[in-house]
Structure 1
Amino acid sequence: DLNVYINGSCSNRKFEQGGVYQTNLYYLLSNLTSNSDTRKFHNFTTGERPNTVYGLYLCNSGADNQLCRDCIKAASEGILQTCPSSVEAIVWYPLCMLRYANHSIFSINDVNPYFPLIFGPTKYSQFNQQLSNAFIGLFNVASAGCLSLASASTVSQLPGNMLLTSSVDCTPDLRPSDCRSCLQTALGRLHTQGQQYGMILQPSCRLTYTFTETSIFLPKGLEEIESMENLQIDFETIKSATYNFSDSNKLGQGGFGIVYMGTLADGQAVAIKRLSNASGQGIREFKTEACLAAKLQHKNLVKLFGFCLERDEMLLVYEFVPNKSLDRYLFDAKRGALLKWETRYKIIVGIARGLLYLHEDSCPKIIHRDLKPSNILLDGEMNPKIADFGMAKLFGGDLTQGNCTSRIGGTFGYMAPEYTRTGHFSSKSDIFSYGVILLEIISGNRCLDINNAQGENLLSYAWRLWNEGAHLNLVDSALGKNDFSKDEVERCIQVGLLCTQEDPDKRPNMASVLIMLNTQLNISMTLPFPPPILPYYKQEKSADLLGSSGVNPMEDIMTELSPR
């Protein structure tokens, strides 16, 4: 998901609700959003002292106008939720940064606060010097700047069919010397033990890198798809069903491509996923998703009607699920009020049943690897259906043992710590994601949102409340104080914390989850330990060209169903 919140910072100083500063802030955010249609960088000032608001945004140089606009729109809405009433704030998303303050933030080299995000398999340390050299070479290009952007990127061929993609961006209002200084500071903060992906985010600049094995982009096995004749739908049929892919039929858009609503000749409503064919990754995801979805039959999984491989087009035709995705309800105040506890509990159990089918009953067994609310669709009766199998992996044996991959895929916040650190995945990776979603369903909060002045994310906030015996305070205020089953909520919170244990071996399997969710059964449940601290890599030893950190072990105990 390209429009998911990564991190941010909020000032402790608050403005008056309904006051002049708030009015000016809303106007500023509207101006920034409207300018993102055509500009990747923009700054703006509005209001008179002492209620003047200064703001700016910066989109990644690699983002096109559509992606930039979508990112800034999400950031403008997200910054108000992440930092309610803060006089000064900054948020980072994968493709953009947005900030505002009550003082000038223009043409200033600002390197704090900063956020490092480094993850993936740790097998690229032999290329540390090439990585450093690549960034130093880019500093010269970016600091030269131009009228539109101060950015640079490069792709370097390394030994062993390896590619290094690196990029840097500065806010173009900086002087060349300040841009260079900002990037040099970021490079000094780049801790790496050879992880595959990394970025350093600072208010005035950012740098990112990715190691890629070129062989993973080779399309293989398309013959298997092409032989599934009974599922093939010709392009003209799909074109007609979507009114020639009309914008009015567009349901959503992401890094994979665009989803359209369509109506087949027999009146069947469908959702048509039109994958981007700009990269080999799209071919790989199409192959995986078509092959898997065609074999899956379960009421809590989205049904595939067919696919199309014509004219360089890659299209998947799914059943149309009218209530769209879970995130549209959970994270929207008005729609969230429609999710009564009975509905939320039904969704929690339904997702668990769908996952149990994938992990235990499907043939082959499947690890989804990208579970999140936007991949949980809701039918007309609000039954959940798991969607999007583009990142899924197949197994014939024990899914708890898993495997390793050099291609990390998923959404930060929902990915298990062992997956982001080493590329190791198993059914327990999905169970971690499920635990995060479960806590989001209970609270109505996004997993990475900052919930209070202590800067806690959802996992750390839920853990603290559980430890204090105040776990019911986690419940979404939209549910009211007594409009839910306290026993069901208490069990769900404990299950959510158990599913998000740092040690995969301490997470339950999906069969155990369904047993624990059954309030009719009087069972003992494992006592949860603290969830992992974000960003996950801080839990392990890591070294840059400069320093390291450590982690304390945890041990296991059992308890009756009750918070500590």
Structure 2
Amino acid sequence: MALCRGDFQLDKCRSCINNATDALLQFCPYQKQAIYWAEGGQCMLRYSNESIFGKLETDPRQQWYVTSDSPSRQEFNRALRTLLDNLRSQAAYGGAGKKFAAANTAPDLLTLYGLVQCTPDLSSDDCSDCLIQGVAEIIPQCCNGKLGFGVYCPSCLLRYETYLSYNDTSLPAPPPPPPPMSLPTPPLPAPPGNDKNTTQTIINVIVPIIVGLIVALCIGFFLRFRQNHKPRAKLETHDEISSVESVYFEFGIIRAATDNFSDANMLGQGGFGIVYKAWKNWHEGTTTNIIDPALRTSSRSFHDIMRCIHIGLLCVQEDVAERPTMASIVIERHPRHHSWGVTFEYYFFPYAFPVIDSN
């Protein structure tokens, strides 16, 4: 691998490599691995019997430093670290194929010139790591505050002095600054005669939209008000009726009970009619007189008929307030309800109705 410093011209690079070749042949004629740095790190020549491309190597290394110290070490070290960090980032991640960077900085007392370079076969991260080792490890150990220093490794080199030690004219020119942003062209003023038309157009568009929104809001409030103010009594009645199960009888039973719907068995029309006969038979203990003989044979049917008569008489009391509610009727019709132990005549006192225990 042959590498010249990034600030060298082609003819000087060729001359430096030729001299390095002669030096290796003279001093290392039989070695399997060898590396040579020209004075000032102007060029490097390296060979090996193993693959060396793309591998980070920091040994062997050669270093030197100036014996003079900076009069203000703290300020000097701060300016030096800033300079070398900027050069490291530029060489490793700047995108240039040479992986080379050089620049200067001017603290209050003197000017510092720095130069860094990596072999082009290294990755950006490996190049940065190689230069970090030179700054963070080598300089603090030997050369803290020295006015000049250089270190040459197989994969990178780093140096700084207080004088210009590289060819400034051969460095690539910095990229031109971006062109200034052009200001947007101001809109042309509208002709004087169009102001009135524009205002009229805006009014024609906005007014219908506002009117439409107001109408929609009014309709929405009206519908919501109407929904929230439905007759409560009607809703409660509907809920109560819908929750009660209807009682069904077979058509044959009804037909037999009414003697084929005979007029003689009709209890009244348009009112209570002659329903008083049922009260009379009930009080006299002859309730069976109002039961069809065909229904008296079954004890179960007879028991159900008595329950129905019981409920029917309760529902036709003269005082409406004394009549049972639908809920109490449902409880009374339930097969497991046993409130019949009380004397029937007590239940059907014409002007009083005891409260039925719903439990």
Question: Does TM, scored on the shorter chain, surpass 0.5?
Answer: no
**Structure of larger gyration radius:** 2
TM value normalised by structure 1: 0.27
Q: Which has the higher helix share?
A: 2
- What is the TM-score when the length of structure 2 is the normalising length? 0.42
Q: Which has the higher strand share?
A: 1
